[in-house]
Amino acid sequence: MFHAAAASAAWLVLIVLGMAALSMLWGGLPALRRFGFGFIFSTDWNPVTRQFGAGVAIYGTLVSSAIAMLLAVPVSFGIAVFLTEVAPARVRPVVAAAIELLAGVPSIIYGMWGLFVFVPVMSDTIEPWLTSSLGALPLVGPLFSGPPLGIGMLTAGIILGIMIIPFISSVMRDVFMLVPPQLREASFALGATRWEVVRKVVLPYTRTAVVGGVFLGLGRALGETMAVTFVLGNAHDFSLSLLMPGNSISAAIANEFTEADSDLYLSALIALGFLLFVVTFIVLAAAKLMLLRLARRDGRTS
């Protein structure tokens, strides 16, 4: 009976996951049949003329998540190293509790803070400096050109990065604490510095779990809705500039679902949800394959 109950619980997850994917695919079929494979790459989104494409939303989702990861991974690594290797014993529980509290803050709070506090800072200080310093450069210039609106890809990516820092840093801290103290003590006895211990002992020992934590944060960033909706700009316009407003899959669904006045419009939004499911599945599958390769290279199986 215990075996049957445990197996049923495991299979229930797969069944629910498959039913959710199939229901979204079924709801998005009219739009996918109407626009075909070009729906994925098209940048058109005009409810008046019934022309819909997911290119801008997919681009915004991937770019904002990439910016978030560029910010969150180094900061999370620094937090984890500080809490496990540097901080005094009395400081560690205080900082760890603060990080865990950040993980419990609702995403809409991050969005409101970003809109009313962080966006003015971006428009008045950071974006003008980026435009004047980097806007004229030949390669990265197009990424930092445009008016300092405050809202846009860069702001959304920074807010996402702040949101996922608690998740990634908590995973890194927990796995760093699992490193046997004998390994650290032996390295120090051989004359290794603290950074050498982290780089040559702690990271190799916890590499698989660290990669898993990073991809867990990436999955969180890909599906975030409310915080991104506040600061992304919600514009179906394709632009290489990170300072210009854009859109994401989750933000487009949240903003326009109640305004869908036709079956094709509603089907296009549901198709966006299915594409977000596919993108997230591909990212998590890639993470699992990477973890399997790391485990196989280390002589373990999972």
pLDDT recorded at residue 299: 62
pLDDT recorded at residue 56: 92
For 178, the 3-state DSSP assignment is coil
Q: Which uninterrupted H or E stretch holds 93?
A: helix 92-103
For 180, the 3-state DSSP assignment is coil
Provide the mean pLDDT of the chain.
Answer: 89
- For 61-120, write each residue's pLDDT tens digit: 999 999 999 999 999 999 999 998 888 888 888 888 888 888 888 889 999 999 999 999
pLDDT recorded at residue 300: 53
pTM: 0.88
pLDDT, mean of residues 242-262 = 89
Q: Where are the beta strands (DSSP E) in 23-111?
A: 45-46, 51-52
CA distance readout (Å), 210 to 83, 170, 216, 282: 15, 10, 10, 19
Give the percent of the chain with pLDDT over 90. Answer: 44
- For 134-167, write each residue's pLDDT tens digit: 888 888 888 898 888 899 999 999 999 999 999 9
- For 180-221, write each residue's pLDDT tens digit: 888 888 988 888 888 888 888 898 888 888 888 898 888 888
Q: Per CATH, is 2-297 categorized as 1.10.3720.10? A: yes
CA distance readout (Å), 300 to 175, 186, 208, 216, 294: 17, 23, 11, 21, 9
pLDDT-derived band at 301 (thresholds 50, 70, 90) equals very low
CA distance readout (Å), 293 to 280, 284, 302: 20, 14, 10
Residue showing tokens 């075909």: 36
